[in-house]
Structure 1
Amino acid sequence: MIKCITFDLDNTLWPCEEVILNAEQKAYEWFDMNCPNISKNLSKEEIREFLVSEAKKKPEYSHNLTFLRLNGYKNLLKNYNYSEKLSEELMELYLNYRNKVNFYDNVLETLTELKNLFILGTISNGNSSLAKIGIRDFFSFEIKSEDVGVKKPDSIIFEHAIKASGVKPENIIHVGDNYVNDICGAKEVDMNYLWINHEQIKEHNIESKYIVNSFQEVKNCILSNYKMEDI
């Protein structure tokens, strides 16, 4: 009997790539205005490559994307003889645009309906903010890898969600787009799962009734295949 639904965020409730690209564009415009030596010498793509290379130097922080990007910005500014303190202003700007998302079709309508039937929560490896996006009221809890100290598919982050929900794992269904992070992670702690398989990848160990190709199918799939708690 399902009492709680947890959701991944990026590429589950909204497409992620366009959000990141827009935030990076705004960051590049900030460089152009405040640190022109950087934008004159590096393209957006080169800055992204630099940030990725810096992140790889600190694998112990792979669960904390905010720290990694902030650290990368600090090092970039330092390399061009700008004050590292500017990184805080830049990071604030980046996160502001990181939270300007465009939801998939029917996300808000579906969350509104499901909130009346289930406890809702989120489990994310990203650094978006439910409050800044404006959807915090839909959810009873928000679990983020940078707060927990590990990222999906580590069972610890799912266990935090189980504890926050107040129900047993067999009474929870996790909805996400990433087979390894979301589906394998949920299975490891005996949670139910629903895979939003955008790319229609073939995985033979998942029954087709637990796979959808878009968020629009989520509500009907859950209500059709799982028993609900009587409310």
Structure 2
Amino acid sequence: MLNFKSIQAISIDLDDTLWPVWPAIERAEIALDNWLREHAPATAVLFADTNERAAMREHINRSRPELTHNLSAQRRETIRLALERSAENTALAEPAFDIFFAGRNRVDLFADALPALVFLAARYPVVALSNGNADIERIGLGQYFHASISAQQFGVAKPDARIFHAAAEAAGVDAARVLHIGDDALMDVLGALDCGMQTVWVNREGKDWVHAQQPHLSVVELNALCVLMAAA
């Protein structure tokens, strides 16, 4: 059970916790494909080949290990490599990525997400903690967050303890005073538990919990957490 009295800050995952990520990624991919067809047609053909695209991403992962946690840089460099292999202008990698990134940040919030953020932000410093590359300012949610920490900025990803401790530091509290909220059992819940944080598992799909360590609370929607907090 949650110890509500000890909570002094919130850290919260973004993708698949506040919005479904894959619809946004799919729209972004379509926007990128349309842009490439107009500005770099040979690259568009190469990029449309899923095997070729996967091979290029693997090449970037092997040749640029420093980009392991930087999804934006990985995407940008994969586009640049495709342009190079297609004998087209590699300078187009930047505007092409901008098209993708704009689409990636056009998300459809879960119905409970915004009311929950309003509720939480009125009571605690809230820190976004993500392995992805979503931009809360571009999405229009920046006002609800005290800070935002991503793996690509910090250099390590969840479930590494260091990024959880960075979130606690950003909120100005000890890790034991942070409640971490997220959808991923390993990355969010177990990672936060190992740091001494309290945890809420956002289990929208009703999955079974299969790990020995347990979250302090499991919810299908965030409003259930807010109701409990309001009553505490």
TM-score in same-fold range (> 0.5):
yes
Q: 1:203 to 1:182 in 2, by over 3 A?
A: same
Q: Aligned-pair distance for 1:206?
A: 4.6
Q: 1:51 to 1:8 in 2, by over 3 A?
A: farther
CA–CA separation in structure 2 for the residues paired with 1:51 and 1:109 = 41
Percentage of matched positions with identical amino acids: 27
2:110 paired residue number:
104
CA–CA separation in structure 2 for the residues paired with 1:127 and 1:22 = 16
- Across the aligned residues of Structure 1 and Structure 2, the Cα RMSD in angstroms comes to 2.0
2:120 paired residue number:
114
Q: 1:44 to 1:106 in 2, by over 3 A?
A: farther
Q: Aligned-pair distance for 1:55?
A: 4.2
CA–CA separation in structure 2 for the residues paired with 1:149 and 1:38 = 30
CA–CA separation in structure 1 for the residues paired with 2:114 and 2:52 = 34
2:227 alignment partner, one of 198, 220, 227: 220
Identify unmatched segments of 5+ residues in structure 1: none
1:79 paired residue number:
85
CA–CA separation in structure 2 for the residues paired with 1:184 and 1:22 = 31
SS of 2:148 mapped into structure 1: strand
Q: What is the number of equivalent residue pairs in this alignment? A: 225
1:197 paired residue number:
203
Identify unmatched segments of 5+ residues in structure 2: 1-5
Q: Aligned-pair distance for 1:107?
A: 1.1
2:131 alignment partner, one of 125, 145, 151: 125
Q: Structure 2: which amino acid aligns with 1:147?
A: Q
Tell me the TM-score normalised to structure 1 length.
Answer: 0.89
Tell me the TM-score normalised to structure 2 length.
Answer: 0.89
Query: Structure 1 stretch 189-198 or stretch 16-25: which is displaced more?
Result: 189-198
Q: Aligned-pair distance for 1:47?
A: 6.1
SS of 1:85 mapped into structure 2: helix
CA–CA separation in structure 2 for the residues paired with 1:204 and 1:112 = 32
1:187 alignment partner, one of 189, 193, 209: 193
1:160 alignment partner, one of 163, 166, 188: 166
2:68 paired residue number:
62
